[in-house]
Structure 1
Amino acid sequence: METDKYTGKGVTTAILDTGIYPHMDFGNRIIVFRDFVSYRSRPYDDNGHGTHVAGILCGDGKASKGLYKGIAPSCRIAALKVLDRFGNGNKENVMRAFRWILRYHEQYHIRIVNISVGTTYKTGNDQDALIRGVEELWDKGLIVVAAAGNLGPKPSSITAPGSSKKIITVGSSDLLEGSSGVSGCGPTYDCICKPDIVAPGNHIMSCVPGPDRFYSAKSGTSMSTPLVSGAIALKLEKNQDLTNMEIKMMLKDSADDMGLSRNQQGWGKFNCKRFLSL
């Protein structure tokens, strides 16, 4: 599905994931859907992960009468399915989605790319290709936000493409330590301190594919990432002239120090109120 006649000027976020279910909470804001796995034309999500991520980012809470409302409920969605029903994918499909964004981001007013997807890699070339891909998006001015991955909390557990030094990498503030600690930690393989920032990711309620139920809880850095992406969308709704580097520095300046190492917490815990006030 592509709404080629789309002429809206609002903020659009590209969500690379398992797809999206046309949940009540998204209204008519799914402005484009592309399936790089099975080439289906209409929005669907045979796993549920992508729908959950989208709900955190921009669900409007209609099905819950506002109880489970996303961060940026007016944000538009470009849903790019790069993972299959098991949540698995390959480098080639992700790279094809990157190329699609480069071609169409102006047409659909895509400013943010949310990647709640991370992978270990068989070879250094696989990781390098993903990193080059997200950095090309970043260099075009897009704000790329990626998960730190759930292979932590041991050092050097950041997954690709979150291991890119340029993009914004998000860990989970409540999944950093103890028996539930899974949030990926730095340094990266080339000694870059990561993540950049951490946000809540444990037991987050959000949208699920219907029709029998509307919401469920999931945990992980995948859930933390759209919290940050949604806040960035709100920021851009106020000022669309902000650059990706300005957004990144605002995240740094507004974070709350948790007293942990730079390779655990990054700049600190995401403070949405302070970030939006800058």
Structure 2
Amino acid sequence: MERHFYTGKGIGVAMLDTGIYPHIDFGDRIWGFCDFVSNKKQIYDDNGHGTCVAGILGGSGAASDGRYRGMAPECGLVALKVLDRFGNGSRVDVLRAFSWIIMNREQYRIRVVNISVGTTYRTRNDHDDLVRGVEKLWDEGLVVVAAAGNQGPDPGSVTAPGCSKKIITVGSSDMLTGERAVSGRGPTFECVCKPDLVAPGKRITACAPGKGNPYGVKSGTSMSTPLVSGAVALALQKDPLLTNVDIKMMLRDSSVDMGLPRNLQGWGKFDCKKFLSL
């Protein structure tokens, strides 16, 4: 029987983060870059978080003979820098990035938006602006995947915009209980159960910027989120007609129950093989 392997080829994924380093694992697949922090034209990442997220999502593993390959190693990467070198950013820059995605989605073939950032928002207006912005992306037909944040374990600790009821929110399956129980959990302001699902996020090895060690180790829901985003790129390559609602229901139906409360684990743990088989 003929076997088909999906790599995410032809699918553009926009990533809101600290930027991206031109790592060997990305080859010529950095399709776009826009710096909303310093307005620089040259591709860069002065923090490392964005490069790690991009590696988990779409690194080829070239520098490790395939050992540290990302989920969708042939997808197109569109890096939108909304965080500075300290990992700080503004609501205004995030909203500008949302508008940029809508304006440029066709040019860069963007089908997926990965948001491995979140805020505990200072005011309800800040929260509402971010949620409205991310839900506009969803309403445009994009698959939006956001981190639940690392503000747990208290209830109501999912960060914005991951608290949106429409988008797909990801927590860390290995950071739900015990000493490292930091994965954000619901319910949200609107009493919506969140996260939607969980995926591994503890001590994940992925691409690092600079000329030293090509890989580094990071933990958090930021690392869990691109695992799901990359798998979504694979599914969209397999069937480009899938809608964002289709994808969300496929994730629901393929998640594995961990036996934990709904506001802790969501539908359950992400199962890539089961997800792609649907």
Report 1:26-175 matches (<5 A).
26-175=26-175
Which residue of the partner structure matches residue 236 of structure 2? Answer: 236
Distance in 2 between residues matched to 1:246 and 1:150, nearest whole Å: 28
Distance in 2 between residues matched to 1:210 and 1:71, nearest whole Å: 22
Distance in 1 between residues matched to 2:122 and 2:238, nearest whole Å: 42
1:79 partner SS = strand
Which residue of the partner structure matches residue 20 of structure 1? Answer: 20
Distance in 1 between residues matched to 2:189 and 2:158, nearest whole Å: 9
Distance in 2 between residues matched to 1:145 and 1:122, nearest whole Å: 23
Unaligned runs of 5+ in 1: 1-8
User: Alpha-carbon deviations, 1:54-96, whole Å to 9, x = none?
Assistant: 0000000000111100000000011000000000000000000
Q: Structure 1 counterpart of 2:166, which letter? A: K
Distance in 2 between residues matched to 1:214 and 1:132, nearest whole Å: 37
Distance in 2 between residues matched to 1:232 and 1:192, nearest whole Å: 23
Distance in 2 between residues matched to 1:53 and 1:251, nearest whole Å: 20
Which residue of the partner structure matches residue 5 of structure 1? Answer: none
Distance in 1 between residues matched to 2:248 and 2:190, nearest whole Å: 21
Report the alpha carbon displacement of residue 97 of structure 1 after superposing the two structures with TM.
Answer: 0.2
Report the alpha carbon displacement of residue 267 of structure 1 after superposing the two structures with TM.
Answer: 0.3
Report the alpha carbon displacement of residue 154 of structure 1 after superposing the two structures with TM.
Answer: 1.1
Distance in 1 between residues matched to 2:39 and 2:159, nearest whole Å: 27
State the Cα RMSD in Å. 0.7
Distance in 1 between residues matched to 2:190 and 2:237, nearest whole Å: 35
Distance in 1 between residues matched to 2:111 and 2:140, nearest whole Å: 10
User: Alpha-carbon deviations, 1:108-155, whole Å to 9, x = none?
Assistant: 110000000010111100000000000000000000000000001111
Distance in 2 between residues matched to 1:217 and 1:23, nearest whole Å: 16
Which residue of the partner structure matches residue 225 of structure 2? Answer: 225
Report the alpha carbon displacement of residue 277 of structure 1 after superposing the two structures with TM.
Answer: 0.5
Distance in 2 between residues matched to 1:273 and 1:42, nearest whole Å: 37
Distance in 2 between residues matched to 1:191 and 1:144, nearest whole Å: 20
Report the alpha carbon displacement of residue 107 of structure 1 after superposing the two structures with TM.
Answer: 1.4
Identity %: 68
Distance in 1 between residues matched to 2:181 and 2:87, nearest whole Å: 21
Q: Structure 2 counterpart of 1:124, which letter? A: R
Distance in 2 between residues matched to 1:236 and 1:82, nearest whole Å: 26
Q: Structure 1 counterpart of 2:63, which letter? A: A
Which residue of the partner structure matches residue 188 of structure 1? Answer: 188
Report the alpha carbon displacement of residue 210 of structure 1 after superposing the two structures with TM.
Answer: 1.6
Which residue of the partner structure matches residue 5 of structure 2? Answer: none
Distance in 1 between residues matched to 2:180 and 2:124, nearest whole Å: 29
Distance in 1 between residues matched to 2:212 and 2:224, nearest whole Å: 26
Which residue of the partner structure matches residue 3 of structure 1? Answer: none
Report the alpha carbon displacement of residue 190 of structure 1 after superposing the two structures with TM.
Answer: 1.4
User: Alpha-carbon deviations, 1:167-226, whole Å to 9, x = none?
Assistant: 000000000001011000000011110000000000000000021110011000000000
Q: Aligned residue pairs: how many?
A: 270
Distance in 2 between residues matched to 1:96 and 1:237, nearest whole Å: 28
Distance in 2 between residues matched to 1:77 and 1:240, nearest whole Å: 18
2:99 partner SS = helix
Unaligned runs of 5+ in 2: 1-8
2:28 partner SS = coil
Q: Structure 1 counterpart of 2:10, which letter? A: G
Q: Structure 2 counterpart of 1:242, which letter? A: L
TM-score normalised over the length of structure 1: 0.96
Q: Structure 1 counterpart of 2:270, which letter? A: F
2:236 partner SS = helix
Distance in 1 between residues matched to 2:17 and 2:246, nearest whole Å: 26
Q: Structure 1 counterpart of 2:224, which letter? A: S
Distance in 1 between residues matched to 2:17 and 2:262, nearest whole Å: 28
Which residue of the partner structure matches residue 204 of structure 2? Answer: 204
Q: Structure 1 counterpart of 2:134, which letter? A: V
Which residue of the partner structure matches residue 213 of structure 1? Answer: 213
Deviating runs (4+, > 6 A) in structure 1? none
